[in-house]
Structure 1
Amino acid sequence: MKKLHLRKLTYGVLAVVAAICFFMGFKVPYTHYKAEQALPRNEQLPLFNPHRPAFTCEIEATKVPPIDAQADAWFREARALEDPDTWEEDRDYKKIVQLTRAAAERRHWKAMLNLASLYLEERDPPHGPDDAVALVEEAMRLGIPAAYDRMGTYYMEGIGVPAGASLAFAFWQKAAEMGSPQAMAYLGDKISATWDSPKDGFWANIPVATKMLGCALGQGYGPAASTLYYLQAWPRSPNGSRSGPRTAATKALALQTLQQGIRLGCANCARFLLVEFEQPDDLADMLVPHLDKARSERYRVLYDALHWNPDLRLPNLDKILPLPPAQLPQWNGDKKALIEAAKGVTLKRGQAEPGPAPQANGRAQVEAAYDLHPCDDTTAEGTAPCAGYWAPTAPGGSAQLRKHLATLPPGLYRPGEPFDSLYDPAVTGAAPIAGLVWRCFITVHRDHSAVAPVAVAGIAREILPAELGLSCAADMPCPATGVWQPWLPSGHPASAALNQPWRQAWMTAGQRFPIPWHGAEPPFDPIELTWHLMEAGKTSNGSQTA
């Protein structure tokens, strides 16, 4: 998702304004006041509580609406056009906006938030801050945790809403409780101090900070590791004070967390290890087991790459830079090859383009790469609430009418477009059918049950599909060296969170498969996983290892 490079007045603002207007003789319509209060930006939220006794880890990917496959293809194409290697003035922002809007209109939640960012960047005049806030509010109505996180940022920075830290922290707290890893990481960092200093914006609540940071890291948010490792390496009491010396076990856990952070895009984690392996602050109490300039050099390459492109992920890091005591594989000094070897792999698929505006005689057309799958969204209104495929149903109609409607394929509609008028074929000369309920369908890849993770172009390394045909249960030793993809069955609540290329692992034959959810309890039973060989093993210098 496109980053908003900002970090994240009181609830009575509207009431105060209304009171002032009243005493000055101006009238504020009550209906307008109630409408303003009903806006998601004005949601009545509990104040931020840094000393809460507990925190429940929720998973964002299980809370969001299902993603339309065609919309996701447009979204990923738009993200690829913003490649950091392309000069900003050379980027085709007209097409980026077009693709992002097409995806957002189908309620692709990441595209909705990215489109809001493009509005703020003035990439689509005359859209601006007010439109960005409205778009984020639309995502909030859909229950998107990241939208609440974004609204907190808007309040902290005064973007389209009055600036106010209290409301910002209230929205971030709500976002974290809903499952936003970004909000968890931010608040977890704020409450991981050694003492409370509210005026400076930090507090000490180590148990909750650890839970928040671990939950964020488990969901794939790498920057959470840069704070979590510190809490693990230096044991702390709940109020933030030191509770004991570092041990070999705490150091090992902290190292694993930093390594996982690098896999998930944490540049600061790579910077710390490049320093630690070459010139640590305290030689008598190093986090790493020994000095190693060769490792430091490789971490420097990774730091530069991740700093330049925060969207980069390096799940197969152990292929080129395993932690001690494992030996370093050979490397010829090619920095690009080092990065490419550590990336995840995806299978090449054809590019998808936004189709033409739907026509009355072509509503049922679906691109050959996709099938339609029903989702839970329905409406009894006469217009489409969002772009996509909609099919009529008649819950209160006769069996004959319901049977007839079931033969009609879903049709493609634009947002706000009136649904077609339909007539009951059993009733001659009748008026259009009343009381229809329209159900939404999303596109899915025709091979959606196949093990085929997807990513933005350039973030992962694309490979041609290979008939490797090798899979393994999670509780069995790895049968062959290579890049392995963990996978949950289609329809599993956590499949969207796990079936990602950045969950991959570089494995050597005979190793035990890891639990691909570092930092927190996974939202699945590991026995439900299967691992699939995506690419046969080669070292970073190209020699065969299996």
Structure 2
Amino acid sequence: MKPIKKLVLLSLIASLCACHTVASTSKDKPMQKTNSILDNLTFECKHEVRPPIDKEVHSLYDYALYHDLHNMWRGKKGDEVWQNMAVYYRIAAYNGDYQANLRLQWLLETKRVVVKKPQTEVYHLNKELEKTLPATAMYKLYYHLDSNYGVKTTPGGKFAYLRKAADMGSREAQFAMADILKWINDRNTLDFRINLVKQLLNCASQQGMGKAAISLGTILELSEQYSEAIYIYHQGVIAGDQPSAFKLYRAFDKRQKHPLNKGIDQDLERATRYKMIDDYLFKYYFLKPTVPDLDEIVPLPPAKLPSWDGKIAFQRWFEGPSPQKPSDELMQKLAEKAGLDWQTGLPLKK
């Protein structure tokens, strides 16, 4: 690849990414140590294992999430809905439900759930998260370094958290490392960094990070690897990435005159389905919907298109009735198991 095109490629990555990586030095040219983040940098893609969640415990999360998301458009910070749903999230989180844990951390960080000491509660939730998703918990420590959440480090030690989280398999950390690598202004390490960024994005996208997929797909597209780009964009749509859906809509509708048109046949029905999904993901971005049922709606060629009612599974769930409210008996049982007050989800006073 010509030097100019490499610089354009990295500039494009820089405008799209937010990732971090671990990599090895080039055998042909020793890497110049112009930035401490590059010192001894090696990368081996590792995926974080997400353990199964007990269905009974997860029923608390399902109920809370439904009402939480229906409050997203008009809800006020600290309102009754979010304060009440926090109880369900807390009890689920301390019974091993990492999805409830992460959602509650976000609600506390954004002050939608209001407590006297949000930093303290987030700290304890993250300690609990270490039991199920240690890589994500490590990334959260990095994330909180600049946010007065009780996490501190020595000067220059900030990126140790990020590199460790990426090594452990955190997709967020892998994406964040790529973001750092792309902004380093050093021609001597250009080839090295482009390679690492691609590895990091690929690893993160394999784990369901939509932002990594759109970034990696764009790199492949610029490199004229169109079929590979289409596959990656498809994975991005599954993860809920709206720009990936828009890319595929344009790819299958040759009237759009897009580079992705090359090497594939026009398929207006596929284009229409991707556009419908694109429209939904764009309109309801604040709900963060994903499309795990994408292959049941619009599989990649040569698979034939199945019948479809025009809705993704998330949409049916969101537009449907509320999940059944967990019984007081279940709340009491799970709260007692975790040493919590079943009416607040907070630790019992000793």
Q: In the alignment, is the contact (CA less than 8 A) between 1:146 and 1:180 conserved in 2?
A: yes
Where 1:289 maps in the other structure, the secondary structure is: coil
Matched, 1:317 2:317: no
The aligned counterpart of 2:62 is 76
The aligned counterpart of 1:145 is 135
Larger RCO, structures 1/2 (Cα 8 Å, 6+ apart): 2
What are the superposed Cα offsets for residues 129-149 of structure 1, whole Å, 9 maximum, x if unpaired? 422442354236536222222
Residue 150 of structure 1 deviates from its aligned partner by 1.9
2:58 partner amino acid: D
Q: In the alignment, is the contact (CA less than 8 A) between 2:251 and 2:258 conserved in 1?
A: no
Runs of 5+ in structure 1 lacking a partner?
A: 1-6, 9-46, 236-245, 332-336, 359-364, 367-383, 389-413, 419-546
Structure 1 residues 357 and 325: alpha-carbon distance in aligned structure 2, compared to 1, 3 A threshold:
closer
Residue 264 of structure 1 deviates from its aligned partner by 2.3
What are the superposed Cα offsets for residues 73-129 of structure 1, whole Å, 9 maximum, x if unpaired? 212221111225864328711321111122223343333333232223334443344
Residue 251 of structure 1 deviates from its aligned partner by 2.2
Residue 259 of structure 1 deviates from its aligned partner by 1.0
- Separation in structure 2 between the aligned mates of residue 180 and residue 267 of structure 1, nearest angstrom: 22
The aligned counterpart of 1:267 is 242
Matched, 1:213 2:201: yes
Q: In the alignment, is the contact (CA less than 8 A) between 1:113 and 1:147 conserved in 2?
A: no
Residue 283 of structure 1 deviates from its aligned partner by 5.2
2:115 partner amino acid: P
2:166 to 176, 180, 190: 176
The aligned counterpart of 1:187 is 177
Whichever structure has more strand as a proportion of its residues is 1
1:299 to 259, 274, 293: 274
Matched, 1:339 2:311: yes
- Separation in structure 1 between the aligned mates of residue 267 and residue 149 of structure 2, nearest angstrom: 47
Structure 1 residues 169 and 110: alpha-carbon distance in aligned structure 2, compared to 1, 3 A threshold:
farther
The aligned counterpart of 1:226 is 214
Q: In the alignment, is the contact (CA less than 8 A) between 1:319 and 1:342 conserved in 2?
A: no
- Separation in structure 1 between the aligned mates of residue 194 and residue 39 of structure 2, nearest angstrom: 10
- Separation in structure 1 between the aligned mates of residue 312 and residue 239 of structure 2, nearest angstrom: 15
Structure 1 residues 203 and 340: alpha-carbon distance in aligned structure 2, compared to 1, 3 A threshold:
same
What are the superposed Cα offsets for residues 282-308 of structure 1, whole Å, 9 maximum, x if unpaired? 756745625555543332221222231
Whichever structure has more helix as a proportion of its residues is 2
- Separation in structure 1 between the aligned mates of residue 153 and residue 256 of structure 2, nearest angstrom: 40
1:53 partner amino acid: T
The aligned counterpart of 1:119 is 108
The aligned counterpart of 1:434 is none
Matched, 1:387 2:303: no
- Separation in structure 2 between the aligned mates of residue 296 and residue 50 of structure 1, nearest angstrom: 45
Where 1:197 maps in the other structure, the secondary structure is: coil
Where 2:274 maps in the other structure, the secondary structure is: helix
Structure 1 residues 354 and 281: alpha-carbon distance in aligned structure 2, compared to 1, 3 A threshold:
same
The aligned counterpart of 2:23 is none
Q: In the alignment, is the contact (CA less than 8 A) between 2:98 and 2:129 conserved in 1?
A: no
Runs of 5+ in structure 2 lacking a partner?
A: 1-17, 20-35, 341-345
- Separation in structure 1 between the aligned mates of residue 130 and residue 73 of structure 2, nearest angstrom: 36
Q: TM-score, normalised by structure 1?
A: 0.45
- Separation in structure 1 between the aligned mates of residue 95 and residue 62 of structure 2, nearest angstrom: 14
- Separation in structure 1 between the aligned mates of residue 179 and residue 255 of structure 2, nearest angstrom: 23
- Separation in structure 1 between the aligned mates of residue 330 and residue 305 of structure 2, nearest angstrom: 52
**Larger radius of gyration between Structure 1 and Structure 2:** 1
Structure 1 residues 140 and 100: alpha-carbon distance in aligned structure 2, compared to 1, 3 A threshold:
closer
Q: In the alignment, is the contact (CA less than 8 A) between 1:225 and 1:260 conserved in 2?
A: yes
Structure 1 residues 131 and 417: alpha-carbon distance in aligned structure 2, compared to 1, 3 A threshold:
closer
- Separation in structure 2 between the aligned mates of residue 122 and residue 272 of structure 1, nearest angstrom: 35
Corresponding residue pairs, total: 300
Q: TM-score, normalised by structure 2?
A: 0.66
Q: In the alignment, is the contact (CA less than 8 A) between 1:277 and 1:288 conserved in 2?
A: no
Where 1:265 maps in the other structure, the secondary structure is: coil
Residue 415 of structure 1 deviates from its aligned partner by 4.6
Structure 1 residues 262 and 165: alpha-carbon distance in aligned structure 2, compared to 1, 3 A threshold:
farther
- Separation in structure 2 between the aligned mates of residue 115 and residue 292 of structure 1, nearest angstrom: 42
Residue 68 of structure 1 deviates from its aligned partner by 4.4
RMSD: 4.4
The aligned counterpart of 1:251 is 226
- Separation in structure 2 between the aligned mates of residue 109 and residue 261 of structure 1, nearest angstrom: 22
Structure 1 residues 117 and 316: alpha-carbon distance in aligned structure 2, compared to 1, 3 A threshold:
closer
Q: Percent identity?
A: 22
